[in-house]
Structure 1
Amino acid sequence: MADAVSLKNQGNDAFKQKDWSGAIDFYTKAIEVNDKEPSFYTNRAQANIKLEAYGYAIADASKAIEIDPNFAKAYYRRAVANTLILKHSDAIHDWKAVVRKNPADKVAKAQYEACQKMVKRDAFLKAIEIADAPSAAVGLDLENMIVEDSYDGVRLKEDMTQEFLDDMIERFKNGKKLHRKYVFQIILAVKDLVYAEATMVETEVAPDHMLTVCGDTHGQYFDLLEIFRLNGFPSQKHGYLFNGDFVDRGSWSTEIALLLYAYKMMYPKFFFLNRGNHETDDMNRMYGFEGECKAKYNERVFKLFSESFSALPLATLIGSKYLTLHGGLFSDDAITLDDIRKLNRHNQRQPGQAGLMMEMLWTDPQTMPGRGPSKRGVGLQFGPDVTKRFCEKNGLEAVIRSHEVRMEGYEVEHDGRCITVFSAPKYCDSTENKGAYINIESDYKLQFNKFDAVPHPDIKPMAYANNSMMSMM
């Protein structure tokens, strides 16, 4: 037991240093020495929560409960993990158990009450859901919307201009907003552009051109500008592909979404946007984007963004060599590129809990062969053999995906056939990771570039998420 406790304490030290993976290694070693101590599992569960491995956290908390059914912390950890993957109906039972075991715990009581509200809200939203609801653009008279003389920004007419883009970048750096007319105008224009694109966009890199692939940016606006400073701003010869998760968590999500959309308007054939699992309504309600839209603009802006997110392509095929999508591969080896081409994403606005769209947005690679349960609690994990078969069957060199923090900003796995790129350095101000992006020229060789986070104004991540969410992060 002394050896196990020593390992646990080393795990605690690593946790304090925000070395979540190192902490997990020590807690795992402690469990290998003594697998009957529930606190080892709950400690590892907390580290897994920090790594967004909510499925693993739920499994650890469940094991702790199996060892000691009266261990309140285990119910607390499992409730947090289920809440963070939006499984409120599962979480509510554990919150109730925590309150029953620790009636004086005010935080747990507040979480229980918040969870009850979420369950009721989810039921209400499902009850009023309309398949063909009218667009939030109905009744929006942009033509007659007045931009007041007091507005100190560049005016936007029909087409995007470099002058407007430059002014937008500076406005956002200085904490200013766009006029609501221009916000509506940009979102609606891009919604039409991306709606008309294929579910899997197919593009080539011409001689003397370059395409840069970026992963999650998650509302880290100043780090996005650092990519452009280091690597060059978008142009007709320098295209960009942003591979989902532009929004949520970081507190400049509207600024990132509007800037990326403005570039899409400016260079519709050279600037690409894939949908991520955070370009969805339920994630936006939980992780801050809805709240940010309402705080900085209004509810209609969020609803229009939601409609535009639903119109985004799900994948981009680069030079017939690299399938780029946010999450990863599939539960069925029979799936091919043609199945992605045929997928009518407009028939299903939100990805749901199963199916091709969900898997494209949520799955992750694993080191073991075959397929396994998701560490997130949503989707699944796929091994190197799955990736090999998919690439060989579809004539691909590799799959490029995002969706996960990588400490060096990127990682090449599965014998070079699965590449993860993540572009939010010092993620959520709490993980000491680098960011990365990939440059691809006409020879289709992948050029990996790493960069560090830059300073930003003193606004914390999740500033616009609900208060109960903040207390769990």
Structure 2
Amino acid sequence: MLSESEPPAAAASLPSATPPPPSSDEDFFSSVSVASTSSTSSPSTPIPSPPQLHPEIPISWPEDGTLTLAWVTNLMLAFDWSSKNLAPTELPSVLPVVVFDRLILTASKILHKEPNCVHIDGGSGLGNNSRVVVVGDVHGQLHDVLFLLRDAGFPSDDRFFVFNGDYVDRGAWGLETFLTLLAWKVFMPNRVFLLRGNHESKYCTSVYGFEKEVLAKYADSGKHVYRKCLGCFEGLPLASIIGDHVYTAHGGIFRSIAVTPAKRAKGKKNRKIVSNPDVTTLSLGSMEELLKARRSVLDPPWEGTNLIPGDVLWSDPSMKPGLSPNKERGIGLLWGPDCTEDFLKMLNLKLIIRSHEGPDAREKREGMEGMDQGYTIDHEVQSGKLITVFSAPDYPQFQATKDRYRNKGAYIILEPPNFDIPVYRSFEAVMPRPKVNPYYDFEDCIDSDEELDLASMAT
């Protein structure tokens, strides 16, 4: 739930530079291939807020196409209120399809223009008074996301946010969660950065509930809404570099893709550069390779140059040295502390922040710490650290019971001057959650992503 604290005044004074969207989005979507300390601060315990004022609904798109702080906060209030007072099928009465279309198109146009790895530095406004909040998986847990935004402080001129993916699936409010974050992105495109998670894919959303959620909430328009969400997923960047020394990505690091010139048929013009998939020796990839990767691919086959996005979204750290295929997941890499050291050193970094693993996944990983506090320090090496942050407390929503994880969520604050010393903030889940039925069969569905049916993903 929303806390009682007011948003920072700096946020309210910020003008929006977002232009109004075009009248039709069909051309756009068809063109898309489809002084700090490192100590842990006191945990936050969400307290249910008093009865809220009725939001202004139905939500309408601003006449000039420019979002304001009042518009975004009303959207948050409307989603929170409707989750407690309306059936999911009544969501179109809160956010009409025409408004959804304008929001997702405007956000998509911003996201698709960003590079694979966004840089958050002095050139983008990062300064001595700035803070950067890094958020891990949130998985459709709307009320915890609303609390987190209030607890950390709304995005503002001096408060940047980097969301590390996995906005949807498992939780019952994936659509509202994703649209809330898109609204902040549209309102403050240079302060809010949304990265891609492995669940921002067609396969995962068809297995873990998001597709069914959208179809249930928007009925006859559900397929349209779902298709637009998939198109927006394609535009989400893969990684970020914060303050020159911090790398964030959903899964982690990535391999180098060996390229060899094909045989020349008739002169240089016909010469092609192709990836060599038969290379058996894995090595770390470069920033140049990451920037050239084709991020628009939603699902496997992960092959050729598509291996890099697969690595970034699906890889996991290990305590065992070396770089190897992630056989447990069937996709991505496993990398040891030596690879973390080499990656940090190669890119002149001091910190890697990744997400991707909740308490269910960590329970099955021998030698790796659990996720009960919402974060773990996985590798400490000479050049710096590797951290996993997970921001969905009491996860998974429908599976978590008193006898299970009861994990806290967490987010990380990076402060000046160098933004490379993490401050961890753990928080409890907002309780009680509104009663709602799950959108996937959690009793028969696998707990973690380690056993995905990759053969069906490729079909």
- What TM-score does the superposition give when structure 2 sets the normalisation length? 0.67
Q: Distance in 1 between matches of 2:333 and 2:29?
A: 36
2:59 touches 2:99 (CA, 8 Å); kept in 1? no
Distance 1:173 1:238, change over 3 A: same
Give the counterpart letter for 2:408 in structure 1.
Answer: K
Q: Please say if residues 242 and 274 of structure 1, whose CA atoms lie closer than 8 Å, have aligned partners that are also in contact.
A: yes
Aligned to 2:317: 365
The one-letter code sitting in structure 2 at the alignment partner of 1:202 is H
Give the equivalent residue in structure 1 for 2:387: 419
- Which of 303, 313, 320 is the equivalent residue of 2:227? 303
Give the aligned partner of residue 441 of structure 1. 415
2:107 matched to which residue of 1?
190
- The within-5 A match list for 1:367-406 is 367-372=319-324, 373-405=326-358, 406=371
1:137 and 1:307 map into 2 onto residues whose CA distance is 7
* CA separation of 1:407 and 1:374: change in aligned 2, threshold 3 A: farther
2:417 is the alignment partner of 1:464: no
Distance 1:178 1:232 in 2: 25
- Among 242, 247, 253, the residue aligned to 2:168: 247
Structure 1, residues 141-174: CA drift from partner, whole Å, max 9, x if none?
Answer: xxxxxxxxxx833432211122221211111112
AA aligned to 1:316 is S
Amino acid at match of 2:374: G
Pair 1:407 & 2:407 matched = no
In the other structure, the counterpart of 2:455 is none
The CA RMSD over aligned residues, in Å, is 2.0
Q: Which of 40, 58, 62 pairs up with 1:153?
A: 58
1:337 to 277, 287, 291: 287
CA contact (8 A) 1:364 1:374 kept: no
Alignment of 1:236 onto 2:157: yes
- Per-residue CA distance 1:28-61 (angstroms, 9 max, x = gap): xxxxxxxxxxxxxxxxxxxxxxxxxxxxxxxxxx
Kept in 1, the 8 Å contact 2:249–2:355? The answer is: yes
Aligned AA for 2:299?
A: Q
| Offset at residue 306 of structure 1 (A) | 0.2
Instruction: Give the secondary structure class of the aligned counterpart of 1:186.
Output: helix
Residue of structure 2 equivalent to 1:106: none
Q: Answer yes or no: is the 8 Å Cα contact 1:276–1:326 preserved in 2.
A: yes
Q: Structure 1 vs Structure 2: percent identity of aligned residues?
A: 34
Task: Give the Å deviation of 1:337.
Answer: 1.5
Considering Cα pairs closer than 8 Å and 6+ residues apart, tell me whether 1 or 2 has the greater RCO: 2
Other-structure match for 1:122: none
1:456 and 1:281, CA in 2 relative to 1: closer, same or farther beyond 3 A? farther
- Residue 61 of structure 2 aligns with an amino acid whose one-letter code is L
The structure with the larger Rg is: 1
Give, in whole Å, the separation in 2 of the partners of 1:137 and 1:414. 41
Measure how far apart 1:351 and its partner are: 5.1
Q: Number of residue pairs matched?
A: 324
Structure 2 unmatched runs, 5+: 1-25, 31-55, 83-90, 256-281, 359-370, 447-459
Give CA deviations for 1:295-314 in whole Å, capped at 9, x if unaligned. 11211111011011011100
Return the offset for 1:135: 6.5
Cα deviation for residue 345 of structure 1 reads 2.4
Contact 1:153 1:167 in 2 (8 A): no
Residue 339 of structure 1 aligns with an amino acid whose one-letter code is E
Correspondence for 1:319 among 243, 246, 255: 243
Deviates more, 1:154-163 or 1:392-401: 154-163
Q: Structure 1: any 5+ residue segments left out of the alignment?
A: 1-133, 139-150
SS at match of 2:331: coil
| Corresponding position: 1:217 with 2:138 | yes
Q: Which amino acid aligns with 1:171?
A: A
Shift of 1:137: 5.7
Equivalent residues in 2 for 1:104-123 (5 A)? none
Q: Residue deviations 1:248-286, cap 9 Å, x none?
A: 110000010000000000000110000000000111111
Which residue type is aligned with residue 178 of structure 1?
L
After superposition, the C-alpha distances for 1:348-389 in whole angstroms (9 at most, x for unaligned) are 343533411100000000111113444333323111011111
Query: Is the contact between residue 412 and residue 418 of structure 1 (CA under 8 Å) also seen in structure 2?
Result: yes
Corresponding residue for residue 281 of structure 1: 202
Alignment of structure 1 residues 16-95 onto 2, 5 Å = none
Q: CA deviation at 1:206?
A: 1.3
Cα distance 1:407–1:206, how it changes in 2: closer, same or farther (>3 A)? Answer: same
Counterpart code for 2:319: T
Map of 2:260 onto structure 1 = none
Q: Distance in 1 between matches of 2:321 and 2:254?
A: 14
How much does 1:464 deviate? 1.7
CA distance in structure 1 between the partners assigned to 2:425 and 2:329 by the alignment: 27
Q: Does the 8 A contact of 1:402 with 1:420 survive in 2?
A: yes
